[in-house]
Structure 1
Amino acid sequence: MTDSQKKWTGNIHLGAKVDINVVLSQLTQAFNASPYFAYNTMKMRVVDGQIQGYLEMQPNLIGNTAFQILHGGVAATLLDSIGGIVAMGELYQRAEPESLPEVMKKVARMATVDMRVDYLAPGRGQHFIATAEVLRMGRKGCTMRMLMVNDEGKSIAAGIASYAF
């Protein structure tokens, strides 16, 4: 396994019980190392044992200059990313020590298959927070529901995505 793959798999030891807090921390660090995330000021963080996507509004993220609102593609990226990282964490959380080699392979090859985004309100706010929940977890893929709210707690965008692994 390469060093890059180890980052995505939480550097866990085979045969050991998964410490989900360590894994979530490792997953967020791997996402936060992405140059694309850094460019768009997106961050993944663990809050109360759950991963959240976080984004501060910046001038370069404005999509509609007349209304000064967040670009829809930025919102979609944050939703897709939170759906994927939460799915990865869920795979680890459900893993038994003997299944860790297979779980690590699934995490390393996880990819978005399909995603739908509903834009619920204009993207106004000082910052945005995205969360995700599992709708269905299968042997070869999962379906996730994601939500992005602004700093006032107003729902800005929601999504449903399928991920294959």
Structure 2
Amino acid sequence: MGQAKKTWTGQLDISSENQLFAILQQLCDAFNHSPFLQHNGICMRVVDDQIQGHLNMQPNLIGNVAYEILHGGVAATLLDSLGGVVAMAELYKRADVHNRAQVLKQIERLATLDLRVDYLAPGRGQSFIAHAEVLRMGKKSCTMRMSMQNDCSVTIAVAIASYAY
């Protein structure tokens, strides 16, 4: 357990030579190695210099058996995890060469303070994709807005979360 904590973001290389895509990919890789996200089939990907959350429907993710609808907790996990990784990426993007060590500390400490999820439609679909955007970046915390759509472009859920760092 101690080794996993040490390598979680300790492997992140935010040297000035690194391109944005490489940093985003490193953040995705760190999240994609989370046993909990792997168990739920949640995957982070870099698409057009943005991190997106992806999820394929699986029988073990069904919350409403009668209607075969995605469990709301899985949707919330996807949205919260994506909000966190995009917040980390945004901290990096806004850093300058002189405060990169401080940014690494912030990324390591980032934690969810508050999460509100609004479920807008039943979680039906073969796959789901989530996007996140920054509403506010402060010195010690940020607020993110996330949305999740199914493979028919129906918005299933939206969320707003605050993260401390």
For normalisation by structure 2, the TM-score amounts to 0.94
Q: Which residue identity is paired with 1:154?
A: V
Q: Report sequence identity in percent.
A: 59
Partner residue of 1:81?
81
Which runs of 5 or more structure 2 residues have no equivalent in the other structure?
none
Q: Shift in Å at residue 97 of structure 1?
A: 0.5
Which amino acid counterpart does residue 42 of structure 1 have in structure 2? I
**Equivalent residue, structure 2, for 1:131:** 131
In 1, Cα distance between equivalents of 2:77 and 2:71: 10
Distance in 2 of aligned mates of 1:134 and 1:74: 22
> Aligned residue pairs: how many?
161
Structure 2 residue 1 is the aligned partner of structure 1 residue 4: no
Segments of 5+ residues of structure 1 without an aligned counterpart are: none
- 1:6: how far off? 1.9
| Deviation by residue 1:94-144 (Cα, 9 ceiling, x = unmatched) | 110001011110000000000100000000000000110000000000000
Question: 1:17 Cα shift?
Answer: 5.4
Q: Which residue of 1 aligns with 2:140?
A: 140
SS of residue matched to 2:163: strand
Amino acid aligned to 2:78: L
Report the counterpart of residue 100 of structure 2 in structure 1.
100
Q: Do the aligned partners of 2:9 and 2:30 also contact (CA within 8 Å) in 1?
A: no
C-alpha separation in 1, matches of 2:91 and 2:141: 10
Partner in structure 1 of residue 38 of structure 2: 38
Give distance in 2, aligned partners of 1:28 and 1:80: 14
> What is the alpha-carbon distance in structure 1 between the residues aligned to residue 7 and residue 54 of structure 2?
26
Q: Is the CA contact (8 Å cut-off) linking 1:18 and 1:95 kept in structure 2? A: no
Q: Secondary structure at the match of 2:123?
A: coil
User: Cα distance 1:164–1:138, how it changes in 2: closer, same or farther (>3 A)?
Assistant: same
Q: Is the 8 A contact 1:86 1:132 kept in 2?
A: yes
Alpha-carbon deviation of 1:5? 2.9
Tell me how far 1:37 sits from its aligned partner: 1.1
Contact 2:120 2:155 in 1 (8 A): yes
- Please name the residue that 2:56 is paired with: 56
Q: How far apart, in 2, do the equivalents of 1:4 and 1:82 lie? A: 16
SS state at 1:54 partner: strand
